[in-house]
Structures are given as structure tokens and as C-alpha cells.
Amino acid sequence: MGLWGALLGNSFKKKSAEVQAEMAKKVNRDLVQAGIYGCFYVASADGELEESEIKKTQKLISNEPLMKGFGAEVGQLITEAEGSYVDGGARIIQRRAKKELSDLAHDPEQADIVMTIICTVADEGGIGDAERQALTNCAEWMNLSVKDYI
């Protein structure tokens, strides 16, 4: 192969690994965004977004193995979502949740992770009728059945 072939081969392998890592991070970022907006949508379905629900969302997402490595970015995304709720209300959160959650419809494993997190946050203080309807919407957007989660 020669020296140049070996150098080019190593360079290609390194670049390929970098591209794969970046793609994995993008996919996981989509997962993080879906989790945050799904949680905020369901948590705000009763007319208010409670601080305990925001904190639980951040904690669950930060502890999920596929979502680790985002550190401060999770906090920034949560602040952005909270700002969207404060400035635009529930409709803005619902629209964003629908977009982010629908992106997971093709990946049942990721959809399951996010739906489990959403249901866990929703259960903070009990699940009322409005939250139950929002959970049903979330499940449908991800091609899941809400009956499997609540």
C-alpha cells in the first residue's frame, strides 16, 4: 500500500469516525428536543407549566444514556422551550412537540424512551383529563399506543 496509502487510509478512517460521531449526536439531539417539547406539551396541558415538571424533565433527560453528553445544552434547550411557552403559550409548544415527536415515528425504540419520560413527567401530581389527551396525541404522533404507557 505504501506510506501515502497508509496515511490516506488513516485520515479517511479518522474523518469517517468524526462524521459518524456527529451524525449520532444530531440524532440524539433530535431525541433530546422531542423529550423536552413532549414533556412541556403534556405538562402544560392543564394550563400551567410547573417548576417541578421542568426540573423533572431536565433530570430524566440528563440521566437517559442516549441523551447523555449534552450537559449544558439540555439546560439551554429547556430554557428555550420555557421561553416559547411563556411568550407564545400552549399552541406554540404543541406545534413544536408535534414536529419533534413525529420525527421519532420511524424509530420505535427512541419513541418508547421519549414516551416513557413524558409519562413519568406527566404523572408528577397525577394525570388529569387534559394531560391524558395530550399523552394520547404524543403517542399517536410517534405511532405508539398510549394504553401501553398509562
Task: Provide the residue ranges of all domains of the chain, joining segments of one domain with +.
Answer: 2-148
- Give the predicted TM-score (pTM) of the model: 0.81
pLDDT at 19: 43
90 Cβ partners below 8 Å, 6+ apart? 41, 44, 45, 47
Give, in order, the Cα–Cα distances in Å from 35 to each of 10, 15, 67: 37, 30, 10
Which residue ranges of the chain lie beneath pLDDT 50? 16-24, 27
Which runs of E-coded beta strand occur in 18-122? none
pLDDT in tens, 113-143: 999 999 999 998 889 999 999 999 999 999 9
